[in-house]
Structure 1
Amino acid sequence: MEITSSTMVKPVYSTPHPLVGEKVPLTVFDRAALDIFVPTVLAYPAPAPSNEALREGLLKAVAPYPHLASRLALDDHGRRFLHVNNEGVLLIEATVPVDLADVLVDGRMAAGVEDLYPTLPEENIGAALLQIQLNRYRCGGLVVGISCHHHTADGHSMSMFFTAWATAVREGKDFTTPTPFLDRARTALPGSTPTPVFDHRSLEFTCGEGDTYAVVPMDRIKNLTLHFTAEFVADLKSRVGTRCSTFQCLLAHVWKKLTAARELKPEEFTKVRVAVNCRGRADPPVPMDFFGNMVLWAFPRLQVRDILNSSYGSVIGVIRDAVARINDEYVQSFVDFGGVADANGEELVATAAAAGTMFCPDAEVDSWLGFRFHQLDFGTGAPSAFVPPDLPFEGLMIFMPSRKANGGVDLFMAVAEEHVAAFEQICYSLDWTHLDVTYVTS
């Protein structure tokens, strides 16, 4: 691979954007997000659009999303804010002297993808918050590596931006500039007398207490890709006995199988950290086109014996009940907690895990099932593959709509090496009883 250029792309406004020049405080939702850059890699077979077309489309797409051209900075008290200074988006162009088909096999790169997106900055303050690398292959194929800092936006927001960029390239002069909702203060308005009623200090934030997980060398954590066909999902839903979403039934299924493969003690407890979009759960609701962070987490929890011996419908009920608890009251309590912390000058530190963390007996899941690959068509077709970087935490799972011809769902997950064989042996079994794991006792 050869880097051929590296530039800052800065949108030019005919009429200055009202936010440019502003110093936007991080909301309590921003501070709950991890202080990391999140990479995404998309592959497009030849013929793919030219780098010039992608650059011009990027200029148009970034303009209504000024936070993406901003920088993280510190105020006089050492607190972070977004300086909307239009410093720009980092755009790197690279050439790769092989054909894309030689290195992309069944939706996976033959080697790691770390070289396909910009090197993650060692210091986030002052770094470009959106960084993009265009990797052009000998055949004309393209791999787009995107990295965005999580304090800027959540997954729902970045999906909006990806769609806007693809549309700008595809439509060219006919592109209609979107008008996303950008009022971050609207998402975090404490009550007249802020009164948090839930424990946010040990869930969304850390106070040095709570769960303690082991950290192991990264080579002990293996990344797997599972494909659940549309027929498998339909069969699974038919066994549930009640209406449920694809995400709910697959999470219940994988939670069962992962728990079985781990051979946990029956009396142990296991929980899953489930990301929940809170835009529609606030009172009043925040528009779905809000660009920023507005995610909290639900924690369905069961004893090992119960998750292994309960029906799919029962496990889905636990997941559904946990998610339902992230309601308007919980969201307001979280916002009030942030208001009290600000009034007291308290520095909030998001609950985070180090690379190599073993979440066992727990897990964490994120869903991109609302992601629509056809919306990422730059004009020559949708991406042929979503290629995730290696997941750094054992027990982390990401659900994506599959790119295979028959549809269905792809699951990218990280599993401890000692549990891989057992998990792969049972991950497609629809038997929910303890017959899969003879050591379980009632």
Structure 2
Amino acid sequence: MLKPAYAAPHPLAGGKVQLTVFDRAAIDTYVPIVLAYPAPAPSNEALKEGLLRAIAPYPHLLGRFALDGHGRRVLNLNNEGVLVIETDVPADLADVLAAGGMATDVAGFYPTVPEESVGPALLQVKLGRYRCGGLLLGVICHHHISDGHAASTFYGAWATAVREGKGFSVPSPFIDRAATAVPRSTPKPVFDHRSIEFKGGEGSGSSQPHAVLPMDKIRNITVHFPAEFIAELRSRVGARCSTFQCLLAHVWKKATAARGLDLEEFTQVRVAVNCRGRANPPVPMDFFGNMVLWAFPRLQVRDVLGLSYGGVVGAIRDAAARIDEEYIQSYVDFGGVADANGEELAATSTFGTMLCPDIEVDSWLGFRFHQLDFGTGPPSAFLPPGLPVEGLMVFVPSRTVEGSVDLFMALAEDHVAAFKRICYSLDILPSRM
């Protein structure tokens, strides 16, 4: 177990921190990433030394979950450390990647996800050293500690600490979690957050109650969208739009068509929205924690399939715009009321959920792999973990081609062949699909 030796106790050391309402909306699990570094990869000692320097300003990652007197989960900032596992693998990294690469089961490449959250390390690292000198770096971090934006910032700080050496001082992030979720003196939630962000009621959290699909019926697929294809998508939109928006519109169309949904049915997308800059007052972008809510663009199937790309992008953009300072404050007020009442809140996403006719999307498009250069070059491959929710997808910038994007998506096995057949088609009308 690695623990930084502080010259003086961290100001938060020994304290217990309540999870915010943003933390509790995140899925209750560890989020894994696996990165491949060919020889000459950084040494294990350099990685561990850099990790100790990088993590010192992040006391939440060094703590453990505990339970308060009401049985609710809290963060115990006890500096128990980070679990680091080192293994030697009698194989060449290139052969392992060639044998399966992004299609292989990568669960053995990162630490085993603990069955219980209270007690185990919240950040765990596995350094798989291959006989060629290559490295598979597998990391798991609990989602109640950080969202994707915060986690990627920390991983980038770790890489910089290794690359720059002992003279590098890791910048301290903003870590005042309580400041991100301050209810009004008289809380006034005006939206149905119990149904939208959490389980319960018949609100906008889904188009219909979600079924449970056996995990062995969920297939994870990878689709590479070249930069030229994305440029053509943008031109079809006919207005200024982001790569994320045009790709989401496209995949929503194709997933809807592949599922063979009834034209009168409604389908929606759960879109992660970073609330740091949308809150009033804004929260610093270097805040380490969770501060994500979701927008829910919703259309009838006939409109998803029949509208122009510009029309679908417009629906996505309008839904995201509704996550404004008023909505965020309403959500924070809702959390304050729930805390005052001692109410448990359960996030909507669970393993084996079948989102069909809906989908859920996360984006890592703001992340750049060069930020994960530990001193011997950026990773040669990103190996996605299995996505446990049917209809869940993630956009990741291509590791190999600038401007291209890789889509990782979980679909019911009955819909995979149809999706792969049409995923590069730019036709719009259902009759052309």
- SS state at 1:159 partner: helix
Aligned to 1:362: 358
Counterpart check, 1:95 vs 2:95: no
Determine the structure 2 residue equivalent to 1:253: 250
Q: SS of the residue aligned with 2:345?
A: coil
Residue deviations 1:319-375, cap 9 Å, x none? 0000000000000000000011111121222222232x2211111100000111001
**Which residue of the other structure, out of 400, 407, 410, is the alignment partner of 1:414?**
410
Q: Which residue in 1 is equivalent to 2:238?
A: 241
Aligned runs of 1:382-421 on 2, under 5 Å?
382-421=378-417
Matched, 1:175 2:172: no
Match of 1:374 among 347, 351, 370: 370
Of residues 264, 277, 282, the one that matches 1:280 is: 277
Find 2:321's aligned residue among 324, 346, 362.
324
Q: Any idea what SS the aligned residue of 2:385 has?
A: coil
Instruction: State the Cα distance separating 1:109 from its structure 2 match.
Output: 4.7
Q: CA deviation at 1:63?
A: 0.2
Equivalent residue runs for 1:74-223 within 5 Å: 74-105=67-98, 108-109=101-102, 111-207=104-200, 211-223=208-220
Partner of 1:353: 350
Structure-1 residue corresponding to 2:309: 312
**Cα distance, 1:406 vs structure 2:** 4.8
Residue 282 of structure 2 aligns with an amino acid whose one-letter code is: P
Contact kept? 2:275, 2:292, Cα under 8 Å: yes
Of the structure 1 ranges 10-19 and 309-318, higher mean CA displacement relative to structure 2 is found in 10-19
- Asked whether the 8 Å contact 2:146–2:288 carries over to 1, the reply is yes
| Structure 1 residue identity aligned to 2:370 | H
Report the AA paired with residue 244 of structure 2: F
How far apart, CA to CA, are the structure 1 residues paired with 2:200 and 2:424?
39
Q: Distance in 1 between matches of 2:432 and 2:215?
A: 29
The residue type equivalent to 1:35 in the other structure is D
- Amino acid of the structure 2 residue aligned with 1:234: A
Could you tell me the TM-score, scaled by structure 2's length? 0.97
Q: Deviations over 1:11-46 (max 9, x none)?
A: 111122101111111111111111111111111111
Query: Match for residue 28 of structure 1?
Result: 21
Q: 1:191 to 1:179 in 2, by over 3 A?
A: same
Give the match for residue 440 of structure 1.
none
Alignment pair present for 1:16 and 2:9: yes
Is contact 2:103-2:221 (8 Å) kept? no
Residue correspondences, number:
429
Classify the secondary structure of the residue corresponding to 1:105: helix
Query: Aligned partners of 2:342, 2:402: CA distance in 1, in Å?
Result: 54
RMSD: 1.3
CA distance in 1, matches of 2:214, 2:368: 35
In the superposition, relative to structure 1, how do residues 351 and 109 fare at CA in structure 2: closer, same or farther (>3 Å)?
Answer: closer
**Residue 39 of structure 2 aligns to a residue in which SS?**
coil
Q: Does the Cα contact within 8 Å between 1:107 and 1:387 map onto a contact in 2? A: no
Distance (whole Å) between structure 2 residues aligned to residue 116 and residue 353 of structure 1: 23
Counterpart in the other structure of 2:59: 66
Q: The residue matched to 2:286 in structure 1 has which SS? A: coil
Moved over 6 A (4+): none
Q: Is the CA contact 1:104–1:110 (under 8 Å) kept in the aligned structure 2?
A: no
- CA shift at 1:416, angstroms? 1.4
Unaligned segments of structure 2, at least 5 residues: none
Q: Check 1:106–1:328 CA distance in 2 against 1; reply closer, same or farther (3 A cut).
A: farther
Give the Cα separation in 2 of the matches to 1:88 and 1:359. Answer: 37
Tell me the residue number matched to 1:3.
none
Note the alpha carbon deviations across 1:130-188, whole angstroms, 9 max, x for none: 00000011111101110011111110000010001000100002212211001111100
> CA separation of 1:107/1:412 partners in 2, compared to 1, >3 Å: closer, same or farther?
farther
Alpha-carbon distance in structure 2 between the residues aligned to 1:204 and 1:382: 36
Q: Spell out, residue by residue over 1:271-323, the C-alpha distance to the aligned partner (whole angstroms, 9 max, x if none).
A: 01111100001000000000001000111100000110000000000000000
Distance in 2 between the 1:433 and 1:352 partners?
32
- Structure 1 gaps of 5+ residues are 1-7, 438-442
| 3-state SS of 2:303 partner | helix
The 1:423–1:106 alpha-carbon spacing in structure 2 relative to 1, beyond 3 Å, is: farther
Contact 2:215 2:388 in 1 (8 A): yes
Q: Distance in 2 between matches of 1:321 and 1:45?
A: 44
Deviates more, 1:425-434 or 1:269-278: 425-434
Deviations 1:200-249 (A, max 9, x none): 00111112656422222222211111111111111110111100000000
Counterpart CA distance in 2 for 1:106 and 1:114 is 15
Letter in 2 for 1:161: F
2:35 matched residue in structure 1: 42
The code of the aligned residue for 1:344 comes to N
Give how far 1:191 is off.
Answer: 0.5
1:414: Cα distance to partner? 1.0
Assess if the C-alpha contact under 8 Å between 1:103 and 1:109 holds in 2. Answer: no
1:226 to 218, 223, 227: 223
Match of 1:91, as an amino acid? V
Mapped to 2, the partners of 1:316 and 1:358 lie a distance apart of 24
**Distance in 1 of aligned mates of 2:259 and 2:345:** 34
The one-letter amino acid of 1:246's match is: T
One-letter amino acid of the structure 2 residue matched with residue 276 of structure 1: V
